[in-house]
Amino acid sequence: MFLMNKISNKFSFVYFSIFVVIGINAPFWPLWLSYKGFDSRYIAIILSCSVLIKLFSNPFFAGIGDKYGNRKLPMYFLSIISICLLFTLNFINSLFFISLIAILSWAMFAPLMPLTESLTTTAIKTHKFDYGKTRLWGSISFILASFLVGIFVDHQGISYIPLLMTFGAILVFVSIYYMPKIKSLPSTHNISIYGLLSNRSFLPFLLASGAIQSSHGMYYGFASIYWKSIGINESMIGALWAEAVVFEIILLAIFSKLKNLFNSRIFIIIAGLLAIIRWILMVYADSILFIFIIQILHAFTFGLTHIAAIFFISEIMPSRAQAKCQALYSAISMGAFLAIAIAISGDLYKYMYNKAFFFSAFLALTGVIIATWFINIKKN
């Protein structure tokens, strides 16, 4: 099988599989929750709790991988439980149990990403393949999933979303089976979370990247709902999400040529500045063409921030703690901060409508200020 010929292709398959699920979840999960009867406040609560729980699940499962030097083992467990929980959602109508299972399913699925990132960056040091070209297969699958599922939902309805996500989770399990065994030495002494958070380089990095990533809270929670309210159908909503990631792919494909231009701190600042512009423009976005143009900036506001974060951890933090650092980045910067932003966005959207994107711009500005004044690029 062509895909399995090289180690980099095996990791590409894992990214591809994970982002099939994310490509269905991001555009259509809020719409499915709305279809099931939740209002904007409760949609925000469910989404924020789903993100917030990563604060606990990500470091826990990453710690298991670091402790025993086997990061595939927790990935098998997480994928199997995710399949079971997502499948269960197809048969439940109780809003309470939908909320509970939705949150638990993401608690199980979310740690798969930092574990994959950690294994990938470890493998790169030995096998010398390109991270951007490997990771871009995740973006490709996001595009395919969001676009094709948008067409499917337009014709068949939104009710099939949990079933489609279940099929995606099964594909994740298969990809983990093919993932190469990358050995990492079991940690001889545990590096505590407190020790990492007290690190002068790592904490400001988490705060800056977290502020910029959390500025996407309104986007993840209510962009699809807002676009539908101004007359955009599900096919076009899927296409807009897919289009954003097309430009993310372009950035990933060329990043190996750009990464030596600046250090990771400068890249985070650039991403934050473009995020400020993006969210201010979203306040005035009232047509498909305008939104299409704005979506190009996603490559930088999310993609560049994330790539810079991955390389910051790989280059600055000690190798024996990198899985835990990746998990903390995912749990705090893309977890706790994002969860708070999404929770706030429910009421902001309810009372301010699209003007709530000004709050997103404020968060991005905060990230730029922290990155400018407090991040220190020095090997630990």
Q: Which of 293, 22, 298, 292 is nearest to 137 (CA)?
A: 22
Backbone angles phi, psi at 185, to 5 degrees: -65, 135
Are the beta carbons of 176 and 76 closer than 8 angstroms? yes
Q: Note the pLDDT of residue 80.
A: 94
The span from the CA of 333 to the CA of 314, in Å, is: 16
Quickly list DSSP for 338-377.
Answer: HHHHHHHHHHHHHHHGGGGHHHHHHHHHHHHHHHHHH---
Below-70 pLDDT ranges, the chain: 1-5, 65-70, 182-200, 316-323, 375-380
Q: What is the pLDDT of residue 97?
A: 92
The SS3 assignment for 211 reads helix
What is the 8-class DSSP label of residue 28? H
- Just give the CATH number of 11-181+194-374: 1.20.1250.20
Q: What is the pLDDT of residues 337-356, one digit of tens each?
A: 888 999 898 889 889 888 99
What is the per-residue pLDDT for 162?
A: 93
The ranges assigned to domains in the chain are: 11-181+194-374
CA distance 215 to 150: 25
The pLDDT value recorded for residue 66 is 64
Other CB atoms within a 10 A radius of the CB of residue 42 amount to: 15
Which pLDDT does position 1 carry in this prediction?
38
Biggest alpha carbon–alpha carbon distance for the chain: 58
Ramachandran assignment for 129, one of left (phi > 0), alpha (psi -120 to 50 degrees), beta (any other): beta
Alpha-carbon distance 376 to 380, whole Å? 11
pLDDT at 148: 93
For the entire predicted model, the pTM comes to 0.76
Burial class from Cβ neighbours inside 10 Å (0-12, 13-18, 19+) for residue 156 reads exposed
| Confidence (pLDDT) at 69 | 61
pLDDT at 377: 57
pLDDT value of position 126: 76
